[in-house]
């Protein structure tokens, strides 16, 4: 075997943490319980000569909007291997120019003011937060990247206050590590899309499922962790069964029930990630023994919908989702599929867990309540936009002006329902949209690229032998009323 090949094999066979050592190292230090201050250091293993650029995300995957995370960075500094401080210049946008021609940037340091972030970002689910006995860090809200090094493997060292449990969705385990933890990320995207939890108030539990499932719950009021864990387990099982295979090794659901920071703060949205979902709700929405069956069913559906996103669009996506652009929200033409079809998939996945008749009735009632009745309440000007145009508009304000989000997912959900109905009828129940979506996920894994809208009917037909192009075209057009 040639020496180079042997070396390559050796490197590939190394455990991930060792393999990542030659790459980038991120060090996160949170030292005092309740402190608003997080310290971050990025170490470049092989500093190259010349200027570097540090970039903080403003757009985040599935965020459909922008958040000014760069605003909360303070004391950005850069150093050579000798420890010599190098020049730092704040630039337009979320960027810092570091070093100078001839200098070698070996280490970048900065601090993040978590209290300022939580105060100034009004959508609770988009912010990290620190409490006297709890810390939640959304990777992309606190971790920047060095331009040009986004694809490098990353080693992450996390240090917390004395005796605090430290948990990362990149390598979840219970009980959590104490005080410090080292994990590896395949690249910047994987790191940015992960979450870190710390503190004794983060209640962690492992739920055996198709793959190990973890629930991390933080609640500022009464909450029934066992009940929530049961719903998460059922939702995950159903969605995993629906897609037929699980393309990740573990999954974490992060739930927070928070006392609103102000009247202007809202806590209503979940966020999906590669190997996790994070949910922030106000504390009165927490599940307790008094929670009605109806509310439990709605919560289970909500969780299932976000879990479904780990297949669509996190691993099977239209243009704009990946490769991801961090500084400016991408204009995406297929939100109706990512959101509408993923919601329909979650509905159908839960229906599969019921007796046939009950499942069909559930599916029909959800199509009515989630899609048809939602659309009836939306203004005509949004319904009369071509769906691709509406999708691009929702790309930057999906939840901020939720009328755009609601109209785009409802039209997509009804398109999915109509396609599913035709597939079932034409094949006498042998095929359904589930088969088309499983095939689409396989197609994406094979092709490693975004699908284009016009490719979808062919892909669906290969899976089911059923033509759906006319349904697609009908729903892409402006609606008549």
Q: Which stretch binds Zn ion (CB under 5 A): 3-11, 18-26, 250-258, 334-342?
A: 334-342
Q: Which stretch binds Zn ion (CB under 5 A): 164-172, 195-203, 278-286, 331-339?
A: 331-339
Q: Which stretch binds Zn ion (CB under 5 A): 112-120, 199-207, 276-284, 333-341?
A: 333-341
Identify which of residues 72 and 344 has a Cβ nearer to Zn ion in the complex. Answer: 344
Tell the smallest beta-carbon distance from residue 124 to Zn ion (Å).
16
| Alpha carbons 379 and 400: distance in angstroms, whole number | 16
DSSP string covering 399-440? TTTHHHHHHHHHHHHHHHHHHHHHHHHHTTTS--HHHHHHHH
Identify which of residues 177 and 394 has a Cβ nearer to Zn ion in the complex. Answer: 394
Identify which of residues 134 and 267 has a Cβ nearer to Zn ion in the complex. Answer: 267
Contacting Zn ion within 261-290 (CB under 5 A): none
Strand order in the sheet with 270-272: 203-207, 213-219, 251-258, 276-282, 270-272
**Window 335-354: contact mask with Zn ion (x via CB under 5 A):** ----x---------------
Identify which of residues 41 and 268 has a Cβ nearer to Zn ion in the complex. Answer: 268
Tell the smallest beta-carbon distance from residue 421 to Zn ion (Å).
22
Tell the smallest beta-carbon distance from residue 447 to Zn ion (Å).
23
C-alpha pair distances (Å), 113 with each of 26, 84, 141, 220, 271 = 18, 25, 11, 22, 22
Q: Is 19 exposed, middle or buried (0-12, 13-18, 19+ CB in 10 A)?
A: middle
Identify which of residues 340 and 457 has a Cβ nearer to Zn ion in the complex. Answer: 340
Encode 10-68 in three state secondary structure.
HHHHCCHHHHHHHCEEEEEECCCCCCCEEEEEEEECCCCECCEEEECCCCCCCCCCCCC
> Residue 217 is inside which H or E element, if any?
strand 213-219
**What single DSSP character describes residue 133?**
T
Identify which of residues 52 and 238 has a Cβ nearer to Zn ion in the complex. Answer: 238
Tell the smallest beta-carbon distance from residue 194 to Zn ion (Å).
19
Identify which of residues 26 and 269 has a Cβ nearer to Zn ion in the complex. Answer: 269
Tell the smallest beta-carbon distance from residue 103 to Zn ion (Å).
45
Tell the smallest beta-carbon distance from residue 304 to Zn ion (Å).
11
Q: Around Cβ 220, how many Cβ atoms within 10 Å? A: 16
| Alpha carbons 439 and 172: distance in angstroms, whole number | 29
Contacting Zn ion within 69-108 (CB under 5 A): none
Token pair for 349: 């996945």
Identify which of residues 339 and 435 has a Cβ nearer to Zn ion in the complex. Answer: 339
Identify which of residues 139 and 412 has a Cβ nearer to Zn ion in the complex. Answer: 412
Tell the smallest beta-carbon distance from residue 419 to Zn ion (Å).
19
Identify which of residues 128 and 310 has a Cβ nearer to Zn ion in the complex. Answer: 310
Identify which of residues 42 and 235 has a Cβ nearer to Zn ion in the complex. Answer: 235
Q: Which stretch binds Zn ion (CB under 5 A): 10-18, 247-255, 332-340, 462-470?
A: 332-340
Tell the smallest beta-carbon distance from residue 305 to Zn ion (Å).
6
Token pair for 302: 């909500």
Tell the smallest beta-carbon distance from residue 370 to Zn ion (Å).
11
Contacting Zn ion within 357-386 (CB under 5 A): none
Q: How many CA atoms lie within 13 A of 302 on its CB side?
A: 18
Which residue minimizes CB distance to Zn ion? 339
Tell the smallest beta-carbon distance from residue 338 to Zn ion (Å).
7
Strand order in the sheet with 88-90: 88-90, 95-98, 52-55, 145-146
| Alpha carbons 310 and 434: distance in angstroms, whole number | 15
Q: How many CA atoms lie within 13 A of 318 on its CB side?
A: 22
CB 449 within 8 A of CB 459: no
- Binding-site size for Zn ion (CB under 5 A) equals 1
SS3 (DSSP) at 324: coil
Tell the smallest beta-carbon distance from residue 268 to Zn ion (Å).
12
Residues at the interface with Zn ion (CB under 5 A): 339
């Amino acid at each position: 075997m040639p020496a180079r090949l042997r070396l390559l094999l050796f490197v590939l066979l190394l455990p991930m943490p060792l393999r990542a050592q030659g790459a980038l190292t991120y060090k996160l230090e949170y030292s005092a319980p309740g402190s608003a201050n997080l310290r971050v250091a990025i170490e470049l293993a092989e500093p190259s000569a010349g200027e570097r650029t540090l970039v903080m995300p403003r757009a985040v995957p599935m965020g459909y909007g922008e958040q000014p995370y760069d605003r909360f960075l303070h004391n950005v500094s850069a150093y050579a291997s000798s420890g010599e401080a190098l020049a730092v210049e704040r630039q337009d946008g979320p960027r810092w120019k570091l070093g100078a021609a001839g200098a070698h940037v070996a280490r970048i340091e900065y601090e993040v003011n978590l209290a300022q972030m939580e105060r100034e970002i009004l959508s609770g689910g988009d912010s990290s937060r620190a409490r006297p006995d709890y810390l939640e860090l959304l990777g992309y809200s606190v971790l920047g990247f060095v331009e040009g090094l986004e694809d490098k493997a990353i080693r992450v060292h996390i240090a917390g206050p004395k005796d605090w449990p430290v948990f990362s969705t990149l390598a979840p385990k219970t009980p959590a590590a104490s005080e410090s933890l080292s994990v590896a990320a395949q690249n910047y995207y994987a790191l940015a899309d992960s979450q870190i939890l710390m503190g004794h108030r983060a209640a962690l539990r492992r739920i055996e499922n198709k793959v190990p499932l973890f629930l991390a719950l933080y609640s500022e009021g009464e909450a029934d962790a066992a009940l929530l864990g049961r719903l998460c387990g059922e939702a995950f099982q159903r969605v995993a069964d629906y897609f037929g295979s699980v393309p990740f090794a573990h999954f974490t659901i992060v739930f927070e029930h928070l006392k609103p920071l102000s009247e202007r703060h809202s806590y209503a949205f979940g966020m999906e990630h590669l190997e996790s979902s994070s949910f922030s709700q106000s504390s009165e929405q927490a599940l307790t023994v008094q929670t009605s069956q109806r509310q439990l069913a709605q919560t289970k559906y909500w969780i299932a919908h976000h879990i479904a996103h780990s297949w669509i669009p996190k691993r099977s996506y239209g243009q704009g989702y990946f490769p991801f652009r961090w500084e400016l929200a991408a204009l995406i033409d297929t939100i109706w599929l990512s959101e509408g079809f993923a919601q329909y998939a979650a509905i159908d996945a839960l229906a599969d867990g019921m007796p046939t008749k009950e499942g069909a009735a559930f599916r029909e009632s959800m199509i009515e309540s989630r899609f048809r009745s939602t659309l009836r309440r939306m203004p005509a000007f949004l319904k009369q936009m071509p769906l691709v145009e509406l999708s691009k508009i929702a790309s930057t304000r999906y939840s901020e002006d939720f009328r755009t989000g609601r109209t785009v997912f409802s039209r997509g959900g009804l398109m999915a329902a109509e396609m599913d109905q035709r597939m079932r009828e034409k094949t006498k129940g042998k095929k359904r949209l589930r088969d088309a979506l499983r095939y689409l996920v396989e197609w994406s894994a094979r092709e490693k690229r975004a699908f284009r809208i016009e490719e979808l009917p062919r892909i669906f037909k290969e899976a089911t032998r059923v033509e759906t192009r006319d349904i697609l075209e009908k729903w892409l057009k402006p609606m008549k009323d």
